[in-house]
């Protein structure tokens, strides 16, 4: 099979490629990525000389570039990760989110529609988020039939892209599947997201900025489990169907930060009190969703997928990965990263 993986130099895409490329030599994988600030070629070092892997630097918002790569590769499967993915960046600058997440997805769908016929055995797999469903109160779970109610420009752009993907299936018969997943964590995550930001700040004894009162709840899933879920749905899921993916690991943000401090103290031999003292409650995120929680019974019952990692084992693996990959960390924390930290945290009062 010829497989295009968009956004394969980002966090989840790179984990996906690192898991699959070495184990499936019969398939060829082409990483189609613009290489934005969120990409890191270091994440692909283990696979970049394998014969069944190549990278093409392509901006999916540019239809001519998308057409050229589809003409060259004629893919049987497209796994679409590429996106602007950070909620806080979408609040401070939404335009790129609308362009990449909606128009970029549309361009890929058009490329497939122009080339694939209804009875071809091909597939467009769209990787999406639970944030499309908006916020839960203290109880309840998101199911695949929960109404869309996105809060941020990021989640609105992902919701729009999901709708366009479904419309291409209903209208043109394009073979598609969608997965909507909860919060991922693990190796190679860009340190703008909660878990890697806290790990790296704690290691440098910088403040740990917790939005609001730290009571917002996320359902955390180790990234390898998410990648495994996507591959399982590609193989066993029904065409035209949506699958929610989650870790059954609901945690308040404050609990996540406390756990990270404890694990970091154990792994580095420092006093946990020294790390707890770095916690700062800062101005909340506008439109901050209170709680996400996933009902993953469909993917479990139809495809037989279940997460393998618990939060305790996954967090320890993650902390150890950041401790032993300081070169990777140095690579992504460029001048642009510093500008982002100043922009996002500079005006948040404690
Ligand atoms: P990321 O920000 O780490 O990586 C995004 C990748 O997309 C980068 O390699 C970047 O260079 C590439 N990209 C961005 N704009 C592009 C463009 N115009 N053309 C081509 N490539 C472009 O994101 P991530 O956390 O790995 O998320 C991947 C996907 O999974 C996204 O679609 C996201 O919505 C979804 N998702 C993420 C999570 C999570 O917790 N991180 C959870 C559920 C779903
Ligand atoms: O639910 C899936 C989504 O999870 C994905 O679609 C997104 O791409 C991904 O970024 C993630 O979104 P969140 O906004 O939930 O993730 P983030 O790591 O930015 O924040 C997690 C929680 O931690 C959220 O409640 C905000 C809070 N937070 C975040 C940062 C960066 C803080 O309290 N302080 C921080 O500095």
Site to substitute for ligand 1 among 10, 103, 187, most atoms within 8 A of C-beta: 10
DSSP annotation of 8: T
pLDDT band at 51 (very low <50, low <70, confident <90, very high): very high
pLDDT band at 264 (very low <50, low <70, confident <90, very high): very high
pLDDT band at 327 (very low <50, low <70, confident <90, very high): confident
DSSP 219-232: EEEEHHHHHHHHHH
Widest Cα–Cα separation across the chain:
62
**What percentage of the chain exceeds 90 in pLDDT?**
92
Ligand showing the shortest atom-to-Cα distance for residue 291? 2
Residue 119 has pLDDT above 80, yes or no: no
Q: Which atom of ligand 2 is nearest the CA belonging to 131? A: 1
pLDDT digits (tens, 9 = 90+) for 134-180: 999 999 999 999 999 999 999 999 999 999 999 999 999 999 999 99
Residue matched to tokens 């600058």: 93
Q: Which residues contact ligand 2 via a Cβ below 6 A?
A: 85-87, 129-131, 182-183, 193-194, 197, 209-211, 216, 218, 253, 285, 292
pTM: 0.98
Short-list 135, 226, 133, CA closest to 185 = 226
State the average pLDDT over residues 192-214.
Answer: 97
Question: Is-contact 262 256, C-beta < 8 A?
Answer: no
Long-range contacts of 61-66 (CB under 8 A, 24+ apart): 61/99, 61/100, 61/103, 61/104, 61/107, 62/107, 63/107, 63/110, 63/111, 66/107, 66/108, 66/110, 66/111
Closest residue by Cα to atom 29, ligand 2, is 194
Short-list 131, 166, 133, 129, CA closest to 149 = 133
Ligand 1 neighbourhood includes 131 CB (under 6 angstroms):
no
Would you identify the CATH topology of the domain 2-186+220-248? Rossmann fold (3.40.50)
Output phi, psi for 322, to 5 deg.
Answer: -65, -35
Distance 12 CA to ligand 1 centre (A): 7
- Check residue 333 and give its pLDDT: 82
- Check residue 150 and give its pLDDT: 98
Question: Is-contact 44 85, C-beta < 8 A?
Answer: no
Ligand 1 neighbourhood includes 43 CB (under 6 angstroms):
no
**What percentage of the chain exceeds 70 in pLDDT?**
100
């Amino acid at each position: 099979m010829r497989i295009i993986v968009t956004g394969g130099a980002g966090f989840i895409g790179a984990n996906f490629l690192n898991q699959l490329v070495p184990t499936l030599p019969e398939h060829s994988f082409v990483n189609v990525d613009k290489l934005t600030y969120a990409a890191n070629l270091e994440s692909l070092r283990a696979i970049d000389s394998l014969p069944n892997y190549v990278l093409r630097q392509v901006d999916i918002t540019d239809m001519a570039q998308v057409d050229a790569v589809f003409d060259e590769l004629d893919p049987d499967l497209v796994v679409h990760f590429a996106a602007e993915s950070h909620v806080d960046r979408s609040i401070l600058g939404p335009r790129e989110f609308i362009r990449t997440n909606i128009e970029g997805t549309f361009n890929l769908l058009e490329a497939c529609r122009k080339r694939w016929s209804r009875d071809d055995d091909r597939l467009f797999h769209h990787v999406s988020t639970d944030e499309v469903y908006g916020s839960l109160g203290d109880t309840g779970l998101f199911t695949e039939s929960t109404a869309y109610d996105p809060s941020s420009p990021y989640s609105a752009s992902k919701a729009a892209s999901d709708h366009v993907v479904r419309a291409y299936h209903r209208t043109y018969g394009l073979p598609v599947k969608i997965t909507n997943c909860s919060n991922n964590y693990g190796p190679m995550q860009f340190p703008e997201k909660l878990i890697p930001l806290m790990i790296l700040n704690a290691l440098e004894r910088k403040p740990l900025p917790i939005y609001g009162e730290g009571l917002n709840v996320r359902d955390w899933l180790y990234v390898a489990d998410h990648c495994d879920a996507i591959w399982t749905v590609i193989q066993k899921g029904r065409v035209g169907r949506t699958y929610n993916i989650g870790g059954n690991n609901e945690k308040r943000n404050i609990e996540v930060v406390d756990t990270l401090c404890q694990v970091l103290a154990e792994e580095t031999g420092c006093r946990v009190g020294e790390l707890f003292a770095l916690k700062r409650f800062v101005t909340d995120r506008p439109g901050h969703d209170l709680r996400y929680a996933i009902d993953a019974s469909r993917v479990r019952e139809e495809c037989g997928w279940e997460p393998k990692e618990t939060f305790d084992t996954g967090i320890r693996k993650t902390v150890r990965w950041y401790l032993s990959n300081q070169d990777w960390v140095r690579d992504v924390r460029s001048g642009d990263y510093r500008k982002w930290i100043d922009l996002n945290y500079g005006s948040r009062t404690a």
